[in-house]
Amino acid sequence: MQEMVLDMGAKLFAEHADASFAAHPDDVTEGAVAWLAELWDQVEELGLPLALPTEVQGGFELPPTTALGLVRLAATQAIPLPLGETMIANWLLAHAGLPPAEGPASLALGPTLDGDRLTGTAARVAFGRHAQTVVLLVGDRLVRATGATVTDHSHNIAGEPRDTLEWTRAVETAPASVDEQTFRLLGATLRSQAIAGSLDAALSMTVAYANERQQFGRPIGRFQAIQQNMAVMATHVAAAGAAADMATDLLPDALVGTGAFSAAAMAAKIRTGEAAGTSAPIAHQTHGAIGYTSEYRLHPLTRRLWSWRDEWGREAEWSDALGKRVCTLGPDDFWPFLTRMGALA
Amino acid sequence: MRNFLDFPAPPILPRQDDLRRDVRAFLADTLGPDYGANDRARSWNGYDPAFSRKLGQQGWLGMTWPETYGGKDRSPLDRYIVVEELLAAGAPVAAHWIADRQSGPLLLRYGTEKQRRDILPRIASGECYFCIGMSEAGSGSDLAATKTRARKDGSNWILKGTKIWTTYAQHAHYMIVFCRTGDTDDRHGGTSQLLVDLSTPGITISPILDLSGEHHLNEVQFDDVRLPASALIGQEGQGWNLVMGELAFERSGPDRFLSSFALLNDLIRVLGTAPDQSSVRAIGRMAAHLMVLRQMSRAVAGKLARDENPPLQATIVKDLGALLEQEIPEIARTLVPVEPIPGPKQDFAYALARTLMSAPSFSLRGGTREILRGIIARGLGLR
Ligand SMILES: Cc1cc2nc3c(=O)[nH]c(=O)nc-3n(C[C@H](O)[C@H](O)[C@H](O)COP(=O)(O)OP(=O)(O)OC[C@H]3O[C@@H](n4cnc5c(N)ncnc54)[C@H](O)[C@@H]3O)c2cc1C
What pLDDT is attached to residue A93?
Answer: 98
Domains of chain B, earliest start first: 8-129 (1.10.540.10), 132-235 (2.40.110.10), 241-379 (1.20.140.10)
- The verdict on a CB contact (< 8 Å) between B7 and A245 is yes
To test the ligand 1 pocket, which listed residue (A224, A226, A229, A232) has its Cβ within 8 A of the most ligand atoms? A224
CATH H-level superfamily of A180-344: Butyryl-CoA Dehydrogenase, subunit A, domain 3 (1.20.140.10)
Contacts of B290 (CB under 8 A, 6+ apart): A338, B257, B261, B264, B324
| DSSP-assigned letter for residue A16 | T
Q: What is the amino acid identity at position A36?
A: L
Of B204, B199, B201, residue with least CA distance to B219: B204
Query: Mean pLDDT over residues B334-341, rounded?
Result: 92
Residue A262 has pLDDT above 70, yes or no: yes
DSSP readout, B96-128? HHHIIIIIHHHHHHHS-HHHHHHHHHHHHTT--
At residue A31, does pLDDT exceed 90? Answer: no
**What is the average pLDDT across A193-217?**
98
Question: Once rounded to an integer, what is the mean pLDDT over residues A188-202?
Answer: 98
Q: Is the pLDDT of residue B293 over 90?
A: yes
| Res. B343 pLDDT band, cuts 50 70 90 | low
Q: At what angle do helices B277-305 and A224-249 cross, to 10 degrees?
A: 90
Question: Which chain B residues are within 8 Å of A323, Cβ to Cβ?
Answer: 279-285, 287
B253 pLDDT above the threshold of 90? no
Other beta carbons less than 10 A from residue A145's beta carbon: 24
DSSP A60-93: ----HHHHHHHHHHHHHTT--S-HHHHHHHHHHH
Residue whose CB lies within 8 A of the most ligand 1 atoms, among B364, B373, B378, for a mutation test: B364
Mutate to test the interface with A, among B3, B292, B320, B336 (most CBs of A within 10 A): B292
Q: Would you state the pLDDT for residue B246?
A: 87
Measured by CA distance, the residue closest to atom 13 of ligand 1 is: B165
Query: CA of A302 to nearest chain B CA: how many angstroms apart?
Result: 19
Distances (CA, A) of A245 to A101, A209, B232: 25, 28, 44
Shortest Cα–Cα distance, A342 to chain B (Å): 8
Q: Give the β-pairing of B174-180 and B191-197.
A: antiparallel
Q: What pLDDT, on the 0 to 100 scale, is given for residue B1?
A: 45
Q: Ligand 1 centroid vs B365 CA: distance in angstroms?
A: 6
Mean pLDDT for B307-316 is: 88
Q: Of B33 and B37, which is predicted with more confidence?
A: B33
User: Separation of B244 CA from ligand 1 center, angstroms?
Assistant: 15
Q: Can you give the pLDDT at residue A34?
A: 95
What is the distance in angstroms between the Cα of A345 and the nearest Cα belonging to chain B?
Answer: 8
Residue A237 vs residues A65, A129, B340: alpha-carbon distances, Å: 17, 32, 35
- Taking the C-alpha atoms of residue A305 and residue A282, their distance in angstroms, rounded to an integer, is 13
* CA A173 vs CA A113, B190, B226, B340: distances in Å: 9, 75, 84, 58
Looking at residue B177, the DSSP 8-state letter turns out to be E
Q: Taking residues B174-200, report their average pLDDT.
A: 95
Q: Do B5 and A246 touch (CB under 8 A)?
A: no
The predicted-structure confidence for A79-132, as pLDDT tens digits, reads as follows 999 999 999 999 999 999 999 999 999 999 999 999 999 999 999 999 999 999
Residue A44: per-residue pLDDT: 97
Mean pLDDT on A157-182: 97
| Domain ranges, ordered by start, for chain A | 2-175, 180-344
pLDDT of residue A77: 98
Query: Is any Cβ of chain B less than 8 angstroms from the Cβ of A343?
Result: yes
Angle at A28 between CA A22 and CA A33, to 5 degrees: 45
Q: Ligand 1 centre and the CA of B375: distance in Å?
A: 15
For testing contact with chain B, the best of A326, A328, A337, A341 (most B CBs within 10 A): A326
- Counts of helices then strands in chain B (DSSP H, E): 13, 8
Decide if pLDDT at B18 tops 50: yes
Asked if the model's pLDDT at residue B43 lies above 80, the reply is: no
Instruction: Enumerate long-range contacts of B135-143, CB under 8 Å, 24 or more apart.
Output: B135/B163, B135/B164, B135/B165, B135/B166, B136/B161, B136/B162, B136/B163, B136/B164, B137/B162, B137/B164, B140/B368, B141/B367, B141/B368, B141/B370, B141/B371, B143/B178, B143/B243
| Residue B342 scores a pLDDT above 80 | no
The ligand 1 atom at the shortest distance from the C-alpha of residue B142 is 29
pLDDT at A345 over 60: no
Note the helical H segments in chain A.
2-15, 17-22, 37-45, 64-76, 83-96, 180-212, 224-249, 251-256, 260-287, 299-308, 315-329, 334-344
Phi, psi of B33 (to 5 degrees): -70, -20
Give the C-alpha separation, A291 to A306, whole Å.
16
Q: What pLDDT was estimated at residue B127?
A: 98
Q: For residue A225, how many other CB atoms are within 10 A of its CB?
A: 9
Q: What is the pTM of this model?
A: 0.96
More reliable by pLDDT, B249 or B182: B182
pLDDT digits (tens, 9 = 90+) for B138-184: 999 999 999 999 999 999 999 999 999 999 999 999 999 999 999 88
Mean residue pLDDT across chain B: 94
Mean of the pLDDT values across residues A254-265?
94
CA B361 / ligand 1 centre spacing (Å): 9
H or E element in which residue A214 lies: strand A214-215
Rama region for A8: left / alpha / beta (φ>0; ψ in -120 to 50; rest)? alpha
Kindly give the number of the ligand 1 atom that is closest to the alpha carbon of B141: 29
A216 touches chain B (CB under 8 A): no
Task: Name the region of B224 (left: φ>0; alpha: ψ -120 to 50; beta: rest).
Answer: left
Q: CB–CB of A338 and B281 under 8 A?
A: no
Q: Residue B380: name the closest of A198, A277, A210, A214 by CA.
A: A210
Name the band, by pLDDT with cuts 50, 70 and 90, for residue B251. confident
pLDDT at B245: 86
CA angle B374, B370, B141 (to 5 degrees): 90
- What is the rounded distance in angstroms from the CA atom of residue B4 to the CA atom of residue B316? 9
Q: Which residues in chain A are contacts of B4 at CB distance < 8 A?
A: 238
B102, B256 Cβ separation under 8 angstroms: no
What is the reported pLDDT for B71? 98
Q: How many residues would you count in chain B?
A: 383
pLDDT at B125 over 50: yes
In total, the C-beta contacts within 8 angstroms joining chain A to chain B are 179
H helix intervals, chain B: 16-31, 37-40, 49-58, 76-88, 94-98, 104-110, 113-124, 239-252, 261-271, 277-305, 311-335, 347-362, 369-380
Q: What is the pLDDT of residues B255-282, one digit of tens each?
A: 899 999 999 999 999 999 999 999 999 9
Q: Which of B254, B266, B268 is nearest to B321 (CA)?
A: B254
pLDDT band at B328 (very low <50, low <70, confident <90, very high): very high
Q: For residues A339 and A318, give the distance between their C-alpha atoms in angstroms, rounded to a whole number.
A: 20
pLDDT digits (tens, 9 = 90+) for A34-64: 999 999 999 999 999 999 999 999 999 999 9
Ligand 1 binding residues, C-beta < 6 A: B 131-135, 140-141, 165-167, 361, 364-365, 368, 370-371
Choosing from B44, B216, B365, B376 the residue with most ligand 1 atoms within 8 A of its CB, the one to mutate for a pocket test is: B365
